[in-house]
């Protein structure tokens, strides 16, 4: 039997706050504040890594412990542990943990030094990190988010009493500490009082609530706790919660969440990892997070996938534009006899998609465009602004693939720095959001952003937020709007003929705002699900000289092959496909401004 090799101790490669002294609390005590922040030792990355293999039959509590331990090891030595989950393990199919993470090992040409089994790995982990958190999965399943918060803060794995691996050296016995705290509110209150100061950010992880309950305020616990993103919680020391009513006015859970956010000290706008899949009314009402609290200072970073701690820690972040290959920007002269259309692949804000379907789509694109005659027309991909930090190797792969076609480009996904509704944020948070969006766009070599707003906020956005991009020398020139809900008109006060409008700043800077146009499926059922021939007819019928765009998402059955690829040979000669950045430039030329 192979022995898991304990990596040498080192500090995580990044901490956003200056904290966190050791909390050596046993059982139920509170953590003491550090006297001073010790100097950080040099950053250390693993020269080789190990795979932990999760086979069929491994229990859910053991899987949770495996991913927690992976996060702890990767916190200690960057990129030292990767978890390989069997594709047919039932729990691996929840929330994006598809058992296919190893496709990235192949894509990045990464080979492990050795492979160890789950039980052996967890045993070594408990010894290496000096203990564990004892809990009962059967009786404390619902409050696991708070138990995970405590375990991540203490830097030890959680071990269930039902597991074959007993927690004989508990730094915290959650069966005692959380006794009587069997609701999300009470458990989160305890985590807030004892561990908030040791965490670096916020995560929302559903412990298994029914997403379509009879009563949205009281969902039943119908599924197991997903394993997706557990490792990142432990590598980054995230505060985990899932207050179902945390966004509901007048509810005690909202008051508690507001207190947590106000006292966290986290940088704003606060990025919420994971996903808020509560209150499914047409769509998830609070998934973008901005509408959740009166402070309106949060945005989502959708990250429900596994092994992010591995990619997050194995190398330095990408911080400069020259670190990524890019295609030469399109430079076109506007012709009023031509109709210009930019096609945009959506959902790039969701790192779960980036790690799965969008990789498959881009692979198809690369194969199709290789040695193509005539050359492929342009296509623009939304890409998460957090990949330079969370998964720089993955971003390098995407950039190289895009570069290889000679015709593909990046732009920022909704709504730039985070999936959020920026117009609802306070002015100071808006300023920070816009600045961070521009910084991310610069790193990615992009000049455009997909922009979502709640349907009631567009006038405020056009008047107060979007002009923040229209300054002289600004990185963002194209703002491509999508309404939430998507089926409502974003700009009902615009003349019907306008496909875009230009924003100008007093210093002479300009930015272009585009009217929404979505393509979500191809069954022909409505305006948002046209077949490829129907979309071709729609574009052909536009007045010549139009500059517009099409936002493609896969939630209605759309794929790259049944939409964009199927459309190409159906377009008339006067319709020219362009990149999103080129569309913004052409719109400025067409406007004469």
Asked whether residue 42 is domain-assigned, the answer is no
Asked whether residue 3 is domain-assigned, the answer is no
| 110 and 253 share one domain | yes
Asked whether residue 421 is domain-assigned, the answer is yes
In 126-247, beta strands by DSSP E: 132-135, 158-160, 170-173, 201-204, 238-241
Residue 527 DSSP code:
T
Q: Which of 346, 336, 297, 576 is closest to 448 using CA atoms?
A: 346
DSSP string computed for 418-482: SBS-GGGS-HHHHHHHHHHHHHHHHHHT--EEEEEEETT-HHHIIIIIGGGG-STT-S--EEEEE
pTM assigned to the model: 0.91
Q: Which of 313, 347, 377 is at the close of a domain? A: 313
Task: Provide the residue range defining the domain that includes 491.
Answer: 337-591
| 410 and 520 share one domain | yes
Give the span between the Cα atoms of 423 and 434, in whole angstroms. 11
| 109 and 254 share one domain | yes
Give the span between the Cα atoms of 409 and 371, in whole angstroms. 18
H-type helices in 491-579, by residue range?
Answer: 532-540, 566-567
Q: How many CB atoms lie within 10 A of CB 394?
A: 21
Q: Which of 310, 386, 397 is closest to 45 using CA atoms?
A: 310
Q: Please write down the HEC assignment for all residues of 246-297.
A: CCCCCCHHHHHHHHHHHHHCCCCCEEEEECCCCCEECEECCCCCCCCCCCCC
Number of domains in the chain: 2
Six token digits for residue 552: 């493609």
Phi, psi of 157 (to 5 degrees): -80, 155
In the beta sheet, which residues pair with residue 448? 478
User: Along the 593 residues of the chain, how does pLDDT read in single tens digits?
Assistant: 333 333 333 333 333 322 223 332 323 333 333 333 444 444 689 999 999 999 988 999 999 999 999 999 999 999 999 999 876 554 444 454 455 678 999 999 999 999 999 999 999 999 999 999 999 999 999 999 999 999 999 999 999 999 888 999 899 999 999 999 999 999 999 999 999 999 999 999 999 999 999 999 999 999 999 999 999 999 999 999 999 999 999 999 999 999 999 999 999 999 999 999 999 887 889 999 999 999 999 999 999 999 999 999 999 999 999 999 999 999 999 999 999 999 999 999 999 999 999 999 999 999 999 989 999 999 999 999 999 999 999 999 999 999 999 999 999 999 999 999 999 999 999 999 999 999 999 999 999 999 999 999 999 999 999 999 999 999 999 999 999 998 889 999 999 999 999 999 999 999 999 999 999 999 999 999 999 999 999 999 999 999 999 999 999 999 999 999 999 999 999 999 999 999 999 999 999 86
| 305 and 357 share one domain | no
In the beta sheet, which residues pair with residue 241? 204
| 342 and 306 share one domain | no
| 265 and 341 share one domain | no
What CATH number does residue 579 fall under? 3.20.20.490
Q: How many CB atoms lie within 10 A of CB 51?
A: 19
Q: How many CB atoms lie within 10 A of CB 222?
A: 11
| 437 and 296 share one domain | no
Asked whether residue 549 is domain-assigned, the answer is yes
| 186 and 126 share one domain | yes
Asked whether residue 404 is domain-assigned, the answer is yes
């Amino acid at each position: 039997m192979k022995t898991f090799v304990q990596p040498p101790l080192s500090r995580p490669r990044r901490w956003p706050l200056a904290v966190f002294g050791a909390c050596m609390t046993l059982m139920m005590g509170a953590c003491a504040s550090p006297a001073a922040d010790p100097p950080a030792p040099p950053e250390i990355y693993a020269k080789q890594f190990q795979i932990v293999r999760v086979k069929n039959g491994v229990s859910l509590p053991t899987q949770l412990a495996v991913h927690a331990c992976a996060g702890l090891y990767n916190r200690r030595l960057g990129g030292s542990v990767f978890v390989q989950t069997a594709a047919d393990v039932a729990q691996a199919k929840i929330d994006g943990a598809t058992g296919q993470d190893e496709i990235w090992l192949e894509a990045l040409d990464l080979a492990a030094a050795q492979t160890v089994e789950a039980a052996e790995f967890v045993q070594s982990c408990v010894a290496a990190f000096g203990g564990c958190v004892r809990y009962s999965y059967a009786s404390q399943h619902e409050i696991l988010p708070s138990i995970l918060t405590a375990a991540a803060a203490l830097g030890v794995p959680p071990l269930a009493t039902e597991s074959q691996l007993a927690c004989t050296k508990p730094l915290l016995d959650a069966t005692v500490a959380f006794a009587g705290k069997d609701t999300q509110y009470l458990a989160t209150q305890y985590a807030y009082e004892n561990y908030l100061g040791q965490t670096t950010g916020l995560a929302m992880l559903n412990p298994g609530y029914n997403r379509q309950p009879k009563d949205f305020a009281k969902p039943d616990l119908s599924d197991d706790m997903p394993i997706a993103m557990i490792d990142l919680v432990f590598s980054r020391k995230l505060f985990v919660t899932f207050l179902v009513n945390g966004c509901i006015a007048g509810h005690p859970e909202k008051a508690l969440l507001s207190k947590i956010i106000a006292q966290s000290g986290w940088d704003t706008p606060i990025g919420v990892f994971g996903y808020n899949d509560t209150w499914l009314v047409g769509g998830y009402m609070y998934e973008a997070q901005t509408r959740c609290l009166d402070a309106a200072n949060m945005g989502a970073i959708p990250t429900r996938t596994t092994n992010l701690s591995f990619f997050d820690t194995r190398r330095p972040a990408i911080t400069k534009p020259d670190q990524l290959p890019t295609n030469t920007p399109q430079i076109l002269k506007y012709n009023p006899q031509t109709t210009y259309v930019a096609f945009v692949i959506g959902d790039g804000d969701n790192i779960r998609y980036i790690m799965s379907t969008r990789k498959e789509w881009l692979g198809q694109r690369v194969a199709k465009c290789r040695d193509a005659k005539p050359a492929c027309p342009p296509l623009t991909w939304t890409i998460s602004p957090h990949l330079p930090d969370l998964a720089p190797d993955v971003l390098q792969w995407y950039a190289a693939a895009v570069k290889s076609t000679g015709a593909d480009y990046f732009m920022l996904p909704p709504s730039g720095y985070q999936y959020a509704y920026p117009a609802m944020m306070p002015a100071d948070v808006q300023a920070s959001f816009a600045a961070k969006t521009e910084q991310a766009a610069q790193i990615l070599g992009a000049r455009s952003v997909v922009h979502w707003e709640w349907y009631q906020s567009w006038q405020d956005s056009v008047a107060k937020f979007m002009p923040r991009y229209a300054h002289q020398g600004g990185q963002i020139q194209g703002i491509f709007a999508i309404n939430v809900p998507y089926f409502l008109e974003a700009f009902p006060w615009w003349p019907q003929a306008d496909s875009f409008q230009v924003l100008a700043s007093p210093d002479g800077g300009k930015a272009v705002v585009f009217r929404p146009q979505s393509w979500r499926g191809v069954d022909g059922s409505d305006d948002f699900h046209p077949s490829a021939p129907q979309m071709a007819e729609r574009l052909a019928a536009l007045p010549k000289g139009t500059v517009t765009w099409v936002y493609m998402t896969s939630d209605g059955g759309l794929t790259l092959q049944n939409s964009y690829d199927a459309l190409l040979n159906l377009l008339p000669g006067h319709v020219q496909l362009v990149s999103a950045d080129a569309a913004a430039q052409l719109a400025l030329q067409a406007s004469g401004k």
